[in-house]
Amino acid sequence: MLFLGLLIAAISAAMMTVATLQLSQVNEGHYLPMTIGKFAVRSPGTVTALRVGAQAIAAVGAWIVAVAVHNLTTASAALVLPAAALILPIAIPVLVITAQHNRSLTTS
């Protein structure tokens, strides 16, 4: 069960990567907000749907991981693994791609 949850989290990360790359292309020449803010060019509906889908899938993956590890003897692992399965697939692709996008604006 743990493997399934982590696999679903990886699928979520792939979906978020694709959505963020598309959002980066739509906002070519404009800064992207790192965490919270408005985009210069409005996000297309397909990109928004892909982002929301990735977040929902990450929540499902985190739930599966939480169910799989709830019997662990170490409480910290039972808390950290589901949190990582929820946050990392969403945060890492967004932060890396956004930083790369914004960095390319300052050098050109």
**Other beta carbons within 10 Å of 25:** 11
Residue 2 CA, chain-centre distance (Å), reads 19
Q: pLDDT tens digits for 78-87?
A: 888 888 888 9
Q: pLDDT at residue 106 above 80?
A: no
Tokens describing residue 98: 């956004």
Q: pLDDT tens digits for 3-50?
A: 999 999 999 999 999 999 999 999 999 999 987 888 899 889 999 999
Cα(95)–Cα(48) distance, rounded to whole angstroms?
17
pTM of the predicted model over 0.85: yes
